Amino acid sequence: MATDRERRSGPSLDTVIRQLRSLGVEPGGVLLVHTSFRATGRVAGGPQGLIEALRTALGADGTLVMPSWTGDDEEPFDPRATRAAADLGVVADAFWRLPGVLRSDHPFAFAAAGPRAAAVVADALPLPPHRPESPVGRVHDLDGQVLLLGVEHDADTTLHLAELVAGVPYRVPKRCTVLREGRPLRVAYDENDHCCERFGLADAWLREAGVQREALVGHAHARLVRARDVVRLAGERLRDEPLLFLHEPSARCVECDAARASVPS
Asked if 127 contacts 178 with a C-beta cutoff of 8 angstroms, the reply is no
Q: Which residues of 80-115 are buried (b: 16+ CB within 10 A; e: fewer)?
A: eebebbeebbbbbbbbbeeeebbbbbbbbbbbbbbe
Output the pLDDT for position 127. Answer: 96
Task: Name residues of the chain where pLDDT drops below 70.
Answer: 1-9
Output the pLDDT for position 31. Answer: 98
Within the chain, residue ranges assigned H as helices are 4-9, 13-23, 37-40, 46-58, 90-95, 117-121, 135-141, 158-166, 202-209, 227-240, 254-261
Output the pLDDT for position 85. Answer: 97
Amino acid, single-letter form, for residue 125? L
Output the pLDDT for position 9. Answer: 60
How far, in Å, CA of 83 to CA of 184, rounded? 18
Output the pLDDT for position 4. Answer: 52
Amino acid, single-letter form, for residue 257? D
